[in-house]
Amino acid sequence: MYDVNYDVNNLYCWAMCEPLPYAEFRWVEECRSSACDSGLRVTKVYRALWFAQSFWLRVYIELNTERRTRTSNEFERNLYKLMNNAVFGKTMENVRDYVDVRLVTCWDGRYGTEALIAKPNFHSSSVFDENLMAVELRKLEVQFNTNLRCLIYFLECRNVYENMKRDIARFDINDYSDDNTYDIPRANKKVFGLIKDENNGAVMMKFIGLRAKMYALRILGKSDTKRIKGVKRSTVAKTITFEDFAHSLNESSQQSRRQACVRSMLHEVYTVSELKLALSPHDDKRYLIPSTDTLPCNHYKILLLDTNVV
């Protein structure tokens, strides 16, 4: 039995190439569907939204994707990837964190510092020099116009590589070697929306996942893959080993690493040395049940598990 690390090629771009809402947004008062006409019983309808949609973003996404496939250096590849992902990121921002910052050069007047700090939504201020101050105000209204949906599938099959050969149109296998063990032909280079084997047919021997975006892979014939969000890649590569992940998991211990970073405060750039939490088996975003499985916070099964334990 092997574990295979799959990812979807350019998933964000694939999503943005689908029909997207653009106008005519309105609430639906009468919510009936063909499913209801066929006998489906609807016990409660919370809200239904009507809107017009089209492929209005597809041309831009496909242009960047085409240019990325033709580039020959890492900088341009990352640039065209960012030009697509940044657009997607704008649709996923936490609008609760938006702030209103005003730059003021005088104290008196309707739009001066005195009037701004007297507002009920005043948060803080920063002085840059004698004639320039930034005043931060909280938003009085928040418009919820972003959204996020995530799905994780667990699939079992007898031979995953035979399934890939049979459904090759669904996979990007271009990075497999020509003489790969599974006799799978190379095809579908960087076609977004297709599934890609991140290990390119290599066998994953071990996997340690401590929590979200903190994991390590040991792949046969390749160097270990280590990912820790918030810790610089150079620090991870030089100071953290696969065994450190295993020790943190088995001994339930935390490990920190010191790293040098560039920080900006009030538009002044500093070089700082910080002690960063690197490894921790305590996942504050999931509920750990007595196994390797987890549940989302506030999941209904958590109460059942706690009751059984008592």
Angle of CA points 104, 108, 114, to nearest 5°: 70
Length of the chain (residues): 310
Give dist(CA 283, CA 255) in Å, integer. Answer: 14
* The pair of three-digit structure tokens given for residue 155, joined into one six-digit string: 């699939």
- Report CA-CA distances (Å) from 145 to 90, 148, 150, 176: 10, 11, 17, 41
Buried-state track 158-181, b at ≥16 Cβ within 10 A, e below 16: eeebeebeeebeebbbbebeeeee
Place of tokens 């020099």: 129
pLDDT of 35 reads 65
pLDDT of 146 reads 61
Asked whether the beta carbons of 263 and 236 are under 8 A apart, the reply is no
Asked whether the beta carbons of 176 and 184 are under 8 A apart, the reply is yes
Q: Of 162, 154, 169, 279, nearest to 216 (Cα)?
A: 279
* The pair of three-digit structure tokens given for residue 85, joined into one six-digit string: 């992902």
pLDDT of 133 reads 92
pLDDT of 173 reads 86
pLDDT of 56 reads 93
pLDDT of 80 reads 92
Burial of 246 (0-12, 13-18, 19+ CB in 10 A): middle
Q: For the chain, list residues with pLDDT below 50.
A: 148, 150, 310
Asked whether the beta carbons of 285 and 209 are under 8 A apart, the reply is no
Strand partners, 138: 99
Give dist(CA 268, CA 134) in Å, integer. Answer: 14
Give dist(CA 135, CA 122) in Å, integer. Answer: 8
Pairing of strands 214-219, 204-211: antiparallel
Strand partners, 20: 54
For residue 29, give the DSSP letter: S
Give dist(CA 126, CA 78) in Å, integer. Answer: 35
Dihedral angle over CA of 264, 265, 266, 267, nearest 10:
-10
Ramachandran assignment for 193, one of left (phi > 0), alpha (psi -120 to 50 degrees), beta (any other): left
pLDDT of 117 reads 92
The answer for residues whose C-beta is within 8 angstroms of residue 164's C-beta and 6 or more apart is: 171, 173, 182, 184, 197
Give the SS3 label for residue 44: coil
Give dist(CA 275, CA 260) in Å, integer. Answer: 9
* The pair of three-digit structure tokens given for residue 304, joined into one six-digit string: 């059942």
pLDDT of 82 reads 92
